[in-house]
Amino acid sequence: MNRTPEKKKLTKQWDNVRLQYFQTQRTDGSTAAADRMEVPVSFVLVLAFICISHSLELQNALDRLKRSQEHVVSDPSDCVSRTRQPVSANPHNLSVDIRMPAVVPAASDTYLCTAFSVPTSQDAYIVDFRPHASMDTVHHMLLFGCLTPVSTSSYWDCGSVQGTCEDEASIMYAWARNAPPTKLPKDVGFKVGRSSGISHFVLQIHYGDVSAFRDHHRDCSGLTLQMTSKPQPFIAGIYLLMSVDTVILPGKKETNADMACDYSSYPIYPFAFRTHTHHLGKVVSGYRIRGGKWSLIGRQSPQLPQAFYPANKDVSVKYGDTIAGRCVFTGEGRTSKTYIGATSADEMCNFYIMYYMDSRHAVPYMTCIEPGSKELFQHIPDEANMPIAVSPADIHSMMHMRHSTDYHLEQVVGWPLDSLQVGQVSGLALDSDSNLVIFHRGDHHWGADSFNSQARYQQRSVGPIQQSTILVVDPTKGTILKASGRDMFYLPHGITTDKNNNYWVTDVALHQVVKVSSDGRDRTVLALGEAFTPGSDSSHFCQPTDVAVDGDTGNIFVSDGYCNARILKFSADGRYLSEWGAGSSDRRRRIPFRIPHSLVFLPDRQEVCVADRENGRIQCFIAQTGEFVKEIKKEEFGGEVFAITYSPAGDGLIFAVNGKSTFGSTPLRGFVIDYSTLDILDIFKPEEKEFKMPHDMVERGDGCVFVGDAGSKSVFKFTTEKLHRSVKKAGIEVQELEEMETFFQTKLRPEHNMSKAAAVQEKQTVARHEAYTEAAEKKKSAAQPSRGQAVLPAIITTLLLVPLLLLLSTGLFICWRKNNRCEVKSEPSSVGGIWGKIRGKAVGSLNLGNFFASHKGYSRQGFDQLSTEGSDQDRHDVDSSDSENEEYSALPPPHPPS
């Protein structure tokens, strides 16, 4: 078959629109004093007007999005429920489903597209992608961003000439072969909306073999986007290396497809990579070449789930580097030539780099389709041609989890940077910004004399905990962002958050489940149960332990608890719905719960799992009906399971921690369990000190797991970060780039593909400025600062402070004249609230969202600080037996009803 016309067509489309190749290839006032007083008032009024306008605009946009999608699904009997648009009520965060509208592809190798408007005209940032597809029906899918889709239909055939977008399109996400979800690093997001040039998403799905549609079922595959309106300091992008003219000869054992381009923009920091070929691909590798040295970005077999895997964390790319890639194919078993093409019988060679860069210079999409010179690829490392053997067992394992000898949770030593000064840590959760939420007991302890034989709390006269019991903590630094929950609780236990960022907590002394607002006002929104009154009916609890929340319906599930053996289900407004006890696959041997201690909701499976502590097992149930699904019980648990959490990665991962058993000496450890196979994939524990009573845990979705320990009054952080790029490191390098910019006379063009003349000119400019920078650095390092040199900055600083002091004095004088008093308050609402809104982050944050801001004095400024009462005692009795008695003072469970 003559491929020349097709190649010409591809070349022409690449010249006109960089991404059109994908559309043919189908790839994957009256006085001065009064004036002075009006300035701050005017400022506040303007700020309030802007905030209200922004909120109204966002809400209107969300309403328009809902209305625009009402007509999409054509078959209400099929997958309508899965194509709805879940939109968060949090004005800063929203979740958007982008799905095919119940389609039926007419033939194999059909490419269908559907377009969705970005749900706000303001700037927004995608911070998470969650795919909803199976390789049984979907060959691969791509998400594009652009201004104008080529069609306004609910969906269209984008395998035709019209393609995806009328203007230049950017690839934002790619999926194939049952790849697990892709999680972006903290403070990194794909920018969309007003100033990004992206007002629409276009989802393209390649349906390979349509035999799966013989039963006429309709397809609603797609993905869920987690978005935020909070500006991200680092913007994500995709760099695609792609071969367009490789020919694989029949019977030839090895054919190489090479790609290489010089890089000519601002520094990028790869954090993930993805490979894509069809059946003949053996291995795909990507490299950065600098000074003749090849550094691996990523290497993988394309026959494994085509996910975005962690890139080499030590490799960044800057102006003057070369980015290169190679795909290795085999023609064995073929009787004719295989070309790069559109169908499953053709081949493809793609190496995706997901990177981030400083938001000031962000380029959302770059490509490379140049084959590179033979001389260059003479020096490619030998590993590029070493096939990665893939067995069926490997594929099965990778489809459930990116698990290998490199995957292992290890403690982050030195986290947190400063002591959190907490009491017994009883519960952990994540808020909508993926910050860690800690629920602790301050100076209260659960001891042997805390309850009488009727489970009534005996220390009520002491009063509630005076310290802030709920802390929101930066997961990277461990610094406290805000604190709340004073004078509200007696013996905290479990905590979780809902989609509106409310806290759902349990208090075993109160025998209540309480919904608390997260606005820092310590406001109880809803309380279930009667305070200090234990019971076992639908309106009472007896030492309830935990809460799980269904994010879609708002239904809540309560594990109850130390003296009841049940799970209760309530509506979002607290209406009792149902309850159930333990389940068993053997109905004759049903064993009741013995302290259902920890709950987790599985959103992708619509199930609820519970850590049945004293039975040393995990049981899972259908959330709608309470029907028993499965049990996980391992000898490694040693008879007790204290806490569990869940990740939808692959086919689902259960994380668990065990506890001390009175019947043995099993070490206290954490476990990672494959939900489908029930295999233990990893066992982890602290490095510096042992667990004493690991009481709760939470998984962040980016390889980080936090464990709260009631015994040692601490929180441990574990991570697989060795496989991920450190954003913090890149932030330092970006700061250095800021200094370099003072030497730039000509700003680098953001486009990757530049004319040769412009590239040469800018390369010379950069070379001159780099030389100047290097000379300046040497001069700076050679000279020692003298005392005289240090005087000038001090003088300048003093001169700058004088006007500020005069202005402050004038304001205080005017205030005194008007009111005969001037109160200065430091409440969170006046300091943390206003400045937090202006900065876009709460005061006290030490994460990279505030990287370019001064961090001095941020520790807890503007927030409700922890009381230090009892802190000396806490330091002395950290090893006391009181903390050890807490969970072992539980009453024996009642006999199951007859």
Q: Which two tokens stand for residue 68?
A: 């625009």
If DSSP codes are grouped into helix, strand and coil, which group holds residue 156?
Answer: strand
- 313 within 8 A of 722, measured Cβ to Cβ: yes
CB 403 within 8 A of CB 305: no
| Measured distance CA(549)–CA(499) in Å, rounded | 9
Asked if residue 278 belongs to a known ligand binding site, the reply is yes
Residue 217 annotated as binding site: no
Q: Where are the alpha helices (DSSP H) in 256-322?
A: none
Please give the order of strands across the beta sheet that includes 680-684: 641-647, 653-658, 670-674, 680-684
Residues 6+ apart with CB under 8 A from 254: 328, 329, 330, 385
**Residues facing 22 on adjacent strands:** none
Tell how far CA 298 is from the center of its chain: 21
Q: Which of 655, 699, 652, 656 is nearest to 676 (CA)?
A: 652
Is 493 annotated as belonging to a binding site?
A: yes
Residues 45 and 52: beta-carbon distance below 8 Å: no
CA atoms within 13 A on the CB side of 43: 9
- The CA-CA-CA angle for residues 732, 737, 740, to 5°, reads 140
> Is 428 annotated as belonging to a binding site?
yes
540 labelled ligand-binding: no
Determine which helix (DSSP H) or strand (DSSP E) holds 377, and give its type and residue range: helix 374-377
Confirm if 535 and 542 have CB atoms less than 8 A apart. yes
Decide if 560 contacts 596 (C-beta within 8 A): yes
Q: In degrees to the nearest 10, what's the CA dihedral of 803, 806, 811, 815? A: 180
Residue 527 tokens read as 């309380």
Task: State the catalytic residues.
Answer: 139-140, 204, 206, 276, 278, 348
User: For residue 397, which phi and psi values (nearest 5 degrees)?
Assistant: -65, -45
Is residue 187 within 8 A of residue 845, CB to CB? The reply is no
Check whether 139 is labelled as a binding-site residue: yes
Whole-Å CA distances, 17 to 20, 220, 592? 5, 29, 65
Q: Which are the contacts of 622, defined by CB distance < 8 A and separation ≥ 6?
A: 606, 607, 629
Q: Residue-wise over 716-743: b if at least 16 C-beta within 10 A, else e?
A: bbbbbbebbbbbeebbeebeebeeeeee
Q: What is the dihedral of CA 221, 226, 231, 237, to 10 degrees?
A: -40
Distance CA 54, CA 767 (A): 44
Question: What is the radius of gyration, based on Cα positions, of the chain?
Answer: 30
895 labeled part of a ligand binding site: no
Pairwise CA distance, residues 633 & 768, whole Å: 66
Could you give the 3-state DSSP secondary structure of residue 708? strand
Buried b vs exposed e over 85-105: b needs ≥16 C-beta within 10 Å? bebbebebbbbbbbbbbbbbb
Instruction: Quote the Cα angle for 764-766-771, to 5°.
Output: 95
Q: How far is CA 195 from CA 122, 125, 304, 526, in A?
A: 8, 12, 37, 41
- Nearest residue to 369 (alpha-carbon basis) of 475, 260, 209, 504: 260
613 marked as binding residue: yes
Residue with tokens 């000396």: 872
User: Strand, coil or helix: what is 466?
Assistant: coil
Q: Shortest CA distance to 278 belongs to which of 202, 366, 339, 352?
A: 339
Other CB atoms within a 10 A radius of the CB of residue 407 amount to 16
d(CA 217, CA 885): 57
Task: Please identify which residue in the block is written with the tokens 């019977």.
Answer: 251
Nearest to 348 by CA among 10, 17, 105: 10
Helix (H, G, I), strand (E, B) or coil at 195: coil
Q: Which residues are annotated as a binding site for a protein?
A: 441, 562, 613
List, as residue ranges, the binding site for Zn(2+). 493, 597, 695
Binding site as annotated, residues for Ca(2+): 428, 696
Feature table: binding site for Cu(2+): 139-140, 206, 276, 278, 348
Binding-site residues, in ranges, read 139-140, 206, 276, 278, 348, 428, 441, 493, 562, 597, 613, 695-696
